[in-house]
Amino acid sequence: MKTSVKRIGAALCLGALMACSDGGAAERSTAAEEAEVQLATDASAALHTVRSALDDHGADPALSLLAARACLALDRRGEALEHAAAGLDAEDLDEDMESELEWARGTALMGRFNELGSSADWRGANTALETATRAGGRRVEAATLLVFLQDMGNLGTPARREKFAKLVYELDTEGKSAEKVRAYLAAWGG
């Protein structure tokens, strides 16, 4: 619940900033607020709301992130990648937004690697998720995914698995992610 409230608050703040800067900003902000609420229960509706706002009011990295998150919830990895890339193409991205978009990109690439086994997807996921561990609200999620990614295929290393496990423990001392990583490593004998 805290995370959801934080994200909604962040979306509202971002919306207020956008509203001061250009035409269509208020509409994009309203759409972002609506889509954030919808995403909790209906990813399809959230995606529709965001796409309409992007079509009607122009590009926006926050809306691109929401679209990517909705696509991930719907297992539409290719579309998630497109939306994350569109967001990453924006000028003057702050570090938090860039990291959030890289999380979406890395998550989509990791899922696609799991499905198709392309080493290019593995490498892309590894790089994007590492970038996502540096800032933003998805640091723990990105580090957790990196722990698991190291054992997918034959490209990861035990040293990187341990590095990101330590980051998870640092960021999420006794939380669910740390618990999940501890159980995973225990199963591997680590």
Name the pTM for this structure: 0.85
What pLDDT band is residue 188 in, cutting at 50, 70 and 90? confident
In tens, the pLDDT along 4-41 reads 444 544 554 444 444 445 578 899 999 999 999 999 99
* pLDDT confidence of residue 7: 52
Instruction: Write down the H helix ranges in 22-94.
Output: 25-39, 43-57, 61-73, 77-88
Residue 36, token pair as written in the block: 């954030």
Residue 126 has pLDDT above 80, yes or no: yes
In tens, the pLDDT along 52-77 reads 999 999 999 999 999 999 999 999 99
Average pLDDT of 106-117?
Answer: 97
Average pLDDT of 145-163?
Answer: 95
Query: Which sign, positive or negative, has the C-alpha torsion 49, 50, 55, 57?
Result: positive
Average pLDDT of 158-187?
Answer: 95
Average pLDDT of 120-137?
Answer: 98
The helix/strand/coil state of 48 is helix
Residue 120 has pLDDT above 60, yes or no: yes
* pLDDT confidence of residue 16: 46
* pLDDT confidence of residue 24: 84
What pLDDT band is residue 84 in, cutting at 50, 70 and 90? very high
Residue whose C-alpha is closest to residue 148's, from 116, 99, 187: 187
Does residue 99 contact residue 127 with C-beta atoms inside 8 Å? Answer: no
